[in-house]
Amino acid sequence: MPFWKQALLAIVILSLGGVAAATYVPALRPLFDRLGLVSALERFGLIDAAPELAVVSAARGGAGAGAVKVVAALVETRAMNDVINAIGTARAARSVRLTADIAGRIVALNAASGAYVEAGTVIAELDDEAARIALDRADLILSDAQTAAARQRRLQASGASTDLLAEEAKLAEKTAELGKREAEFELSRHKIVTPISGWLGILAVEIGDQIAPADEIAVVQDRSSLIVDFRVPERMIALLSPGIEVGAAPLSQNGPPLTGKIVALDSRVDDSSRTLRVQAAIANQNDLLRPGMALSVTLNITGAAHPFVDPLAIQWDTNGAYVWVIRNGKADHLPIHILQRDSDAVLIDGDLSPSDVVVTEGVQALRKGSLVDVVKSGDLNPPNPAPKS
């Protein structure tokens, strides 16, 4: 192909590309205008004159200079909210594992499995015949020692006994008292008593069973409130403290949401998961929950207040996010850092104050230092007038 044909074809292709870009990418029109391409394309009727381009040209300070029409909004502040969702395991606020202190045979069970018992209730009794015999023997020994001590005190008072004999009788009396106390203690160990009020678990023994020391009889749990153990990321540690309210819901059933409060924070971060163990107390209303259940825990943490803007105001370039802020009637390019995104607002960190105004619509025609005219949203792109008949 001759060179002149190649040059003509290249000009045609570039012209068509310029027409398409100027028509369908309005943001490129200011660039084409500075290169003098827009006026050439308009002169040949390849594109229509763009009102936005005229505004941009006027904003540069040319003849008939005007301002770029934009929609803007006042910067406001809002507290930053962090939501933590975790899965925790519930346990009773207090739980006691009842075991026998001595070996023996079960002769009585005074509570049924699953029953509510008060503190001090005797749950089970062991055969205590030998212990009662030992207590009776201790009573006889104590009675005899007390009689001997009293006789020695009388003889000492009349001068018929020495001080040494009186002291020996007194020591024997004290030793007998200790023997009786020991026998009473051994007898008490034949009763398994619950130290707390709560619900009794399923009994692990039956009457007639022979048990050894430390064998489990049952578990008593006070589940009027539950302790939920869960973990949070280490970045949230500074925002947590005892008393912060939490929400909870059982994973296994639908029901009304439950509320509770943080009661304890662990003293160290787990170095493998980089999480902190947290405990929260949840009121067990109507006794619907059981220890061991999995609960979904939610924490809503309110942080410091930050400026927020409409999501439409956020723009991006090679350096990151930025907004157009209007100061002294001119547009200024302001870099920002996004902290949190919500459905209707974006919390940002930047050199903004509540009195600043940021552009939300019409940003395509802006450049740093452009004069701006703030209009209503409906006035930014007015509808084309109906053709005259």
Within 8 A by CB and 6+ apart from 307, the residues are 75, 76, 77, 347, 348, 349, 350, 352, 353, 354, 356
- What pLDDT score was predicted for residue 52? 36
Answer whether 374's CB lies under 8 Å from 70's CB.
Answer: yes
- Confidence (pLDDT) at 379: 55
Reduce the DSSP state of residue 356 to 3 states and report it. coil
3-class secondary structure, 362 = coil
- Say what the pLDDT of residue 375 is: 82
Residue 361 contacts residue 380 (beta carbons within 8 Å): yes
| pLDDT-wise least confident of 80-84, 107-111, 164-168, 256-260 | 80-84
Q: How many CA atoms lie within 13 A of 348 on its CB side?
A: 25
DSSP β-bridge partners for residue 89: 229, 294
pLDDT at 33: 55
Parallel, antiparallel or unpaired: strands 372-374 and 68-74 = parallel
Q: What pLDDT does residue 65 have? A: 47
In tens, the pLDDT along 243-264 reads 989 988 888 777 677 889 999 9
pLDDT of residue 356 exceeding 90, the answer is no
Buried b / exposed e along 175-187 (16+ C-beta atoms within 10 A): ebeebbeebeebe
Does 229 score more than 80 pLDDT?
Answer: yes
Average pLDDT taken over every residue of the chain: 80
Quick one: CA torsion of 300, 305, 306, 309, rounded to 10 degrees? Answer: 70
Could you tell me the pLDDT band of residue 61, with boundaries at 50, 70 and 90? very low
DSSP symbols for 34-45 = HTTHHHHHHHTT
pLDDT higher than threshold 60 for residue 49: no
Pairing of strands 116-117, 198-200: antiparallel
Indicate the pLDDT class of residue 128, thresholds 50, 70 and 90. Answer: very high
Instruction: Indicate if the pLDDT at residue 227 is higher than 80.
Output: yes
pTM of the model: 0.55
Mean pLDDT within 117-133? 93
> Tell me, what's the pLDDT at 62?
34
pLDDT per residue over 287-303, tens digit each?
A: 888 898 888 898 887 76
- pLDDT (0 to 100) of residue 182: 94
* Percent helix, percent strand, percent coil in the chain, to nearest 5: 30, 40, 30
Question: Over 50: is that where the pLDDT of 58 sits?
Answer: no
> What is the β-pairing status of strands 294-309 and 346-349?
antiparallel
Give the torsion through C-alpha atoms of 222, 228, 229, 231, to 10 deg: -170
